[in-house]
Amino acid sequence: MLNISPHNRVPEQGRFHSQAFRTIGEAQADRLFARWVIAISAVMLIGLFLPWTQNIRARGTLTSLSPDQRPQTIHAIIPGRLEEWFVQEGQRVQKGDTILRLSEVKPEYFDPLLLDRTQDQITAKELTAKSYDEKVHSLDAQIDALNAGLRIKLEQAQNKIIQAGLKLQSDSIRVIAARTEIKVADDQYARGDQQFKEGLVSKVELERRQVAQQRANATLIDAENKLLDARNELLNARLEISGIRNDYRDKLSKAESEKFASMSQMYTTEGEVSKMQVDLANYTVRAGNYYVTAPQEGFITKAVVTGLGETVKEGDPLVSVMPARFDLAVELYVRPMDMPLIATGQKVRFMFDGWPSVVFSGWPNSSFGTFGGTVVAIDNFISPNGKYRILVGPSSDEQAWPEALRVGGGAVGFALMSDVPIWYELWRQINGFPPDMYAEPSAK
């Protein structure tokens, strides 16, 4: 009932009038709770000023520093059919150990004596080239002989020209002498005829002078004929030089033409020999590729092609090999916003998958089961996942990484930055600011 009537008041009851109140007693939780709240708040307030190591957290995988120490896949260099396996998965192999054998699938390489027959063809072609070479030498000798004969013939023709010139001079002098002689005979005959008319000489003397005159005329005609023959001989001797040169030029041109044709055939044959030698080398290398060998010491991890008789194409993967010796590193991917804060030589803490650890990211010295590393390399181009890749190797001045780690395992990295108060780190996280740049103190 409502206590609204002054005449009908509800009697007041004491605090301990009820049995329930007497059992509970007086509550003191309000004062205890207040004390706890004040204590926790004080601890939290003091904790806000504790030091905190800023870090950039990224997840990555174990890999190797050297590219040749990473897992690799052996591919088929030539197309073929799988005939025989020599190893098993997980088996350790040395460099050069045979892994499997392939057989030929192309018809042009089916001949088992292909290398020997190709070598025979090369030998035959080399002999052909040698024959052409000998023919070229023979033609060179023939050309030398023709040049020597040409010189001799030209010298003979020059001698004939000289002889014809001397004979022409002699005949010219003989003509001049004959003309002088006929002039004398004519004068003697004219004087004799005058003296005969005067009766000073006899008829016989006159006739003798007349005969001498006719003989002088005949001598002149004979000398002129010989002079004409000498001129013709000189002209013929000069023309003979041109004939000799034309004749030998034709012979030399023919010999040189045969020589160049032989040289062309020789060079063509030598080119064919070189091509066949390349083919032989290719056949030899191809025959060596029937056996797939291990490129380095390692373990057979996975056989991609398994069934005997299975056909593979050129470049198809055959088997995966993990190198036996490798220098571990961690491949981390960081955000582009954090990329400018990463530098070569920067310290990184790791938590490896499968390795027990207790991690306080802000207090790396208080963590347990973490291992140290140093940034070795940073990519200059962004990866397809939109982040930058960095490689972190073990630190030489810290605890060695566990020997049980294997390439491909997971890891979580903490790139250590500056030491700041906790309140500053909370303020940075709330505002989304990047961590502060860490700089090594300069040596003084």
Q: Residues 158-196: pLDDT tens digits?
A: 888 888 888 878 878 887 877 787 787 777 777 777 777
- Report residue 121's pLDDT band, with 50, 70 and 90 as the boundaries: very high
Beta-strand pair 317-323/72-75:
antiparallel
CB of 114 within 8 A of CB of 283? yes
Domain boundaries, the chain: 52-69+326-431, 72-104+290-322, 114-288
Answering whether pTM is above 0.85, one says no
State what percent of residues in the chain have pLDDT above 70.
80
pLDDT band at residue 442 under the 50/70/90 scheme: very low
User: One fold for both 72-104+290-322 and 114-288?
Assistant: no
Least confident interval from 135-144, 199-208, 247-256, 371-380? 199-208
Asked if residue 443 has pLDDT above 50, the reply is no
CATH node for 52-69+326-431: 2.40.30.170
Report the distance separating Cα 228 and Cα 168, nearest Å: 8
Residue bearing tokens 């963590």: 367
CA 368 to chain centre: 52
Return the ∠ at Cα 434 (arms to 430 and 436), rounded to 5°: 115
Over residues 288-302, the mean pLDDT reads 90
Cβ contacts of residue 399 below 8 Å, gap of 6+? 371, 372
Rounded CA gap, 84 and 33, in Å?
Answer: 80
Phi, psi of 326 (to 5 degrees): -155, 150
CATH of domain 114-288: 1.10.287.620
* Nearest partner of 334 among 316, 320, 346, 321, judged by Cα: 346
Q: Which CATH code of 1.10.3470.10, 2.40.50.100, 3.30.70.890, 3.90.740.10 fits the domain covering 72-104+290-322?
A: 2.40.50.100
C-alpha–C-alpha distance, residues 35 and 47, integer Å: 18
Question: Cα-flanking dihedrals φ and ψ of residue 200, to 5°?
Answer: -90, -30
**CA distance from start to end of the chain:** 88
Question: In this predicted model, what pLDDT tens digit does every residue of 62-83 receive, in sequence order?
Answer: 888 888 888 889 999 989 999 9
Q: Which of 23-37, 85-99, 182-196 has the lowest mean pLDDT?
A: 23-37
What's the whole-number mean pLDDT along residues 6-22? 54
